[in-house]
Structure 1
Amino acid sequence: MTSKSIPLRQLWLPSACLLLMVGGGLALFTRSLWNLNGWPQFLEFWQASLHPDLTAPLMATAWQGLLTTLAYAICGTALSVCLGFVGSIFISDVGRQVLGIAPHFSQGLKSLLVVPRAIHEMLWGLLLINVWGLDPLVAIAAITIPFSAIVAKVFSDILDDTPHQALEAIRQSGGRPLNAFLYGLLPSASTNLLSYSFYRFECSLRSAATLGIIGVGGLGHEIFLSLQSLQYQQVWTFIYALMILNGVIDWSSARCRQRLGCQTRISLHLKNTPIKQVHSQRPEPERSFSNNLLYCILVVVVLVGAVAWSWLYIGPDLATLVAPQTWRNSQQIFVELWPLQPSLTLLETVDASLQTLSMAFIAILGAGCGGIVFSFGTAANFFLPGGLFLPQPASLWHQGLGRLIVGAVRLFLLICRSVPAPIWALVMLFIVFPGVLPGAIALGIHNLGILGRLMAEVNENLDQKPLAALQAQGASSPSVFLYGVLPMTLPRFLAYSCYRWEVGMRETVIVGLVGAGGLGRLLSEQLSSFDSSGVVWTLGCFILLSLGVDWLSQYLRQQLQLI
C-alpha cells in the first residue's frame, strides 16, 4: 500500500495556527502575569454580587440607563437593517444578474464596505464624539455605520444562497426583474433575513452597552463610572439590569423566530448538517400562512412603534449634522492628519500586531471549547426530562437536578455575554498585569456566552431520527452522544467559532483601549496624545489584520461545508 503524501499548500493553515499559538505563548510567558496585590479587590467585587445596591435613587438611574441602552439598540438596528438590505441588493450576485446592476459598481461597493465593517463601533463612537460631541447621534451612528456593512454582507450571502427556482420561473414567463425579485426570491429568503435581523438586534444591544463606556450614556456608562469609583454594589445593580434586559430580548427574539419558523439566529449554510424541519410538522399550511402573515404585520407595527418611541426618548439633534461647529471640528481633524507618518517603529508595530492576533486566537480558542461544553448543558434536549441524558421515566430528584443544571448554565452564559468585554477586561486587570492575557480572558468570557447560546440552538435543532435509530439498536446515552450527536454538531460548532473569531478580532481593539494590550493599547495612547497621524496608521494595520482574519475564517467555513 502506497502512502498518500500531503501537498505542501495544505500545510500553511496548521503552520499559521501554530505560529499564533507560539506567539501567544511567548507574549504570555515572557513577562509577569499575576498581580497578587489585586486579589482583595477582585474578591470584593464578586462578594458585592450577593448584595447589590437596591436604593430607590440608584434603581431610578438603572431604569433610565436601561431605557437609553434599549433605545440606542432599536434605532441602530432599524437603520442598519434598512441600509444593509439596500446595500445587499447592490453587492449580491442576484443584483448583478437579475436587476442589471453594473459589475464594476457592485465590486467597488463591496470592497468599500470592508472598511466600516472592520472598525469596531466603539472606535466609530470615539471618532464621532470629536465631531458631534456627546449627542445621542453618536451612539446611533456608531452602531449603524459598521452594522450596515455587516448586514449588507450577510444579507447578500442569504440572497445568493436562497434557491432561485421561483425567481427564474417568473423571469422565463416574461415577468419583470424587479417583480421576479420581490415575488420569486424575497419571500423564500425572508425567514433567514428576519432571523439575522433579530440576531443583529441582540448584537446592537451589547454594542449600545459597550458604547456607554465612552460617555454616551446607558447602562454601560453607569457600570464604568461605578467601577472606576470602586462602588461594586452599584456595579452589580447595573449588571443585573443589563442581564434582565438581555434575557428579555433573548427570550422575545427566540419566540418570534420560533413563531415565524426560523431555526437559528444566524445560518452559516452548512449543507451537510442535519437539522430538523419545522414547517413539515404543521398540518394546516394555509391557516399557518394566514396566521404568520397576521403575525408579521403585528411585528412590523410593534417595531415601527418601538423605533418611534426610541427616537423620541433619546432625542437626537439632527441639526448637529450641519452645525458650523461640526464643520470646524471635521476640518481640524483632517488638518491634524498631515503629515501622514507613523509614530512607531516597524518593530513596535509588528509586535503589537502579533499581540493582537494572539489575543484574538487565544480568546476564541477558549470560548469555542467552553461553548461546546456548556452548549449541551443549556440545550433543552439533553438534561431536561425526556432528553438524551434524562430519558423518561425519571425520578423527581433527577428531574430537579436536570432543571438545575440547565438553569445554572443558562444563567452563567447570560452573565458572560451581558457584561461588555471592556468591563470584563477592567475586572481582570485587578489580578492580571496589562498585556495579552487580560484581554484574551475578557474576550473569551464574553464570546463564551454568545457561542454557548448559538451552539445550544444547534443542539436543540438536531434531527432526532438518527439518534432514535441508535437508541433503538441498544446504544447507551454516551455512545449516542459520541457517535450520533458530535458528528452532526461539530462542523457547525467550528463554523460558529470561526465566525466569532472575525468578531473577536474587531473586539481586541476595545479591550486594548482599557489597557489590555495589542494595537488597542497603542491606539489608546495615540488618542490620548492627540496623535491623529499615528491613529490612522494603527487603524490601517488593524484593518489589514481584520481583513486577513475575515478571509481565513471564510475559507475555513467553506472547507467545513465539504466535511
Structure 2
Amino acid sequence: PGSIALRFYRRSPWLAARTLLAVPRSLHEIVWGLIFVNIFGLVPLTAIFAIAVPFGAICAKVFSEILDEQPRQPFLAMLNAGAPPLQAFFYALFPSALPNLISYSFYRFECSIRSATILGIIGAGGLGYQILLSLQSLRYQEFLPMLIALLLLSGLTDVWSSQLRQALGGSTRIEIQTGVNHTAGIPSTGSTRSSAFLKGSMISILLLTGFALVYLKPDFSSILAPRTAQLLEGILRDSFPPQLPDGGLLYLLRLSGQTLAISILAMAAVGPLAMAAAFVSSGRLRNLGQITATRQPGLRPAAILAYLVRMFFLIARAVPTPIWVLMILFVVFPGILPGAVALALHNWGITGRLMVETVDNMDERPLVALQSLGASPGQTFMYGALPDVFPGFISYIFYRWENCIRETVVIGIVGAGGLGRLLSEQLSNFDYAAITSTLIALILLTILVDLLSSAVRRQYRS
C-alpha cells in the first residue's frame, strides 16, 4: 500500500497536467472562436487565441510523449554523476528530442492553416470567410480562384514541412503522434544542403512571424482591459450551474450518439478507401514486380494514376470540413449523411497522405528477399508489405477518429446535425448554461474516444 501511495503521489502532477490539457484540446477551434468572439469581438486576436489554446494543449501533450520516448540512459547517467535535473534535461534529453519537436511544430503549422480557414465561418476573415460568402451568394466564379489559392497555400506548406522533416532527420508526422515507428533500421540519406535549408527555414519563420504581426496588428493590450474581465466574468456567471437543453438528458444523449455515429460512419468509409489509395499511389510498391530488376525511366500509367491520387489527397485535405459540408448541402438535405460524407472526404485526404508516407518509408529489404526466393508480386505484397504496414494503418484510423469527434462540432454548426447543431442553436440564444452542458457532453465523448483509441494504438505498438 505504501509503494502504491508513493507512485500515486509521484504521478499526481502528471495526472493533473494531463487532465488539465484534456479540456482545451477536446474543444474544436471554432468553439473557442465562438467563445472568444463574445469576449474580444471580431478582431484578429479572437482567431489567434482560438487556434493557440487548443493547439497549445495538443502540442504540450505530444511534446511530453516525444520526451517520454527518448532514451533515458544519458539522462540517468548525468543525474548519477551529480548534475542537477534541469541541467541533465537540457544537455541529455532535450537535444535528442529537438528534431521531432520542431517537426511536429511544423505539422501543427499545416493544421493551423486549415483551422484559420474554418474560423472564417464565424467572421474571422481570410480565405475561409470569402469562400463562405461566395457559396452563400452563389458566386461560383469567385469561389474557384479562392479554392485554388487555398490549395496552393496548403500544398506549399506541406512541401516545406516535409522537406524540413527530412533535413532534421526526424520521424514522420504520424510516427510522432502515434509512436508507431516504420523507419527503424532504414539507413537515412543525408544532404549537404540540409544545414542551409534549416537556416533558411528559421530565417523565413522569423520574417513571416514579423510580417503577420505587422499585417494583423493584434491588440494584445485588450487581454488585460477591464472590459475583457467584465465580459469574461459575465459569461462564467451565466454558464454555471450547467442546465440541460429543452429535451432533457435523453435528448442530449441522443445527439451525443448521433455525433458518435457520424464519426464512425466517416471513418468506416475512410479506412478501406485510404488503404487502397495509399498502395496505389506509393512509389515503394509501384514497381513491386520489378524490385530486383532494372526499373525503366519515364512515366507509366501506374505512375500517372499515383500522381492523380496524391492530387486528390491534397484537394480533400486542403478544403476544410465545413466547406465540404456547405457544398454537399447544395445537393442533399441536412442530417447525418452530409456530415459523414464531409468528414470522410477531408479525413480521407489526411489519412491517405499519412498512409502513403508509411508505405514510402517501409523497409524494402524484406520484399527484395521474398522476390529473390521466387515469390510472385501478389505473394510479396500479402506476406511482405501488408503485414508490415497494416498495424500502423489501424493506428492511424483510430488516431483520425479522435479528430473526427472534434470536427463533428464544426459540421453541426453549419447544419449537419449532432451536438454541433445543438451548440449552434444555444449560441444563437445566448443560453450559456445549456452551452456548458453540451460542451461537457462533448468533452466526455472526446475523452472516451481518446481512451479507446489510445488503448488500441498501445496494443498495436506492443
Q: What is the TM-score with the length of structure 1 in the denominator?
A: 0.76
TM-fit CA distance, 1:103: 4.4
Q: Mapping of 1:355-394 within 5 angstroms? A: 355-383=258-286, 387-388=287-288
Which deviations, in whole Å up to 9, do the C-alpha atoms of 1:247-273 show, x marking residues without a partner? 1111111111111112411312236x5
Q: Mapping of 1:119-268 within 5 angstroms? A: 119-267=27-175, 268=178
Q: What one-letter code is carried by the residue in structure 1 that aligns with 2:231? A: N
Q: SS at the partner of 2:284?
A: coil
Aligned residues: 452
Bigger drift between 321-330 and 421-430 goes to: 321-330
Q: What one-letter code is carried by the residue in structure 1 that aligns with 2:388? A: M
Counterpart residue number, 2:186: 277
Counterparts of 1:338 and 1:113 in 2: how far apart (Å)?
Answer: 21
* Aligned residues of 1:447 and 1:500 also touching (Cα < 8 A): yes
Counterparts of 1:194 and 1:314 in 2: how far apart (Å)?
Answer: 25
Q: What one-letter code is carried by the residue in structure 1 that aligns with 2:249? A: L
* Aligned residues of 1:199 and 1:266 also touching (Cα < 8 A): no
Counterpart residue number, 2:455: 555
Which deviations, in whole Å up to 9, do the C-alpha atoms of 1:501-546 show, x marking residues without a partner? 1111111111000111111111111111221111111111111000
Query: Structure 1 172/296 Cα, relative in aligned 2: closer, same or farther at 3 Å?
Result: farther
Counterpart residue number, 2:439: 539
Counterpart residue number, 1:309: 211
Q: What one-letter code is carried by the residue in structure 2 that aligns with 1:193? A: L
Counterparts of 2:395 and 2:348 in 1: how far apart (Å)?
Answer: 15
Which deviations, in whole Å up to 9, do the C-alpha atoms of 1:33-85 show, x marking residues without a partner? xxxxxxxxxxxxxxxxxxxxxxxxxxxxxxxxxxxxxxxxxxxxxxxxxxxxx
TM-fit CA distance, 1:109: 2.2
Q: What one-letter code is carried by the residue in structure 2 that aligns with 1:547? A: I
* Aligned residues of 1:439 and 1:511 also touching (Cα < 8 A): yes
Structure 1 gaps, min length 5: 1-95
Counterparts of 1:177 and 1:298 in 2: how far apart (Å)?
Answer: 34
Counterpart residue number, 1:332: 234
Query: Structure 1 172/332 Cα, relative in aligned 2: closer, same or farther at 3 Å?
Result: closer
TM-fit CA distance, 1:485: 0.7
TM-fit CA distance, 1:463: 0.7
Which deviations, in whole Å up to 9, do the C-alpha atoms of 1:107-141 show, x marking residues without a partner? 22221111101000110001100110011011111
TM-fit CA distance, 1:190: 1.7
* Aligned residues of 2:284 and 2:359 also touching (Cα < 8 A): yes
Counterparts of 1:274 and 1:297 in 2: how far apart (Å)?
Answer: 26
TM-fit CA distance, 1:300: 2.8
Bigger drift between 516-525 and 163-172 goes to: 163-172
Counterpart residue number, 2:367: 467
Counterparts of 2:118 and 2:124 in 1: how far apart (Å)?
Answer: 10
Backbone CA RMSD of aligned residues? 2.2
TM-fit CA distance, 1:294: 6.1
Counterpart residue number, 1:299: 201
Counterparts of 1:295 and 1:415 in 2: how far apart (Å)?
Answer: 27
Which deviations, in whole Å up to 9, do the C-alpha atoms of 1:262-285 show, x marking residues without a partner? 2411312236x5645243x55xxx
- Percent identity of equivalent pairs: 44
Q: What one-letter code is carried by the residue in structure 2 that aligns with 1:381? A: R
Counterpart residue number, 1:45: none
Bigger drift between 241-250 and 343-352 goes to: 343-352
* Aligned residues of 2:245 and 2:252 also touching (Cα < 8 A): no
* Aligned residues of 1:421 and 1:443 also touching (Cα < 8 A): yes
> Which of 111, 114, 119 does residue 19 from structure 2 map onto?
111
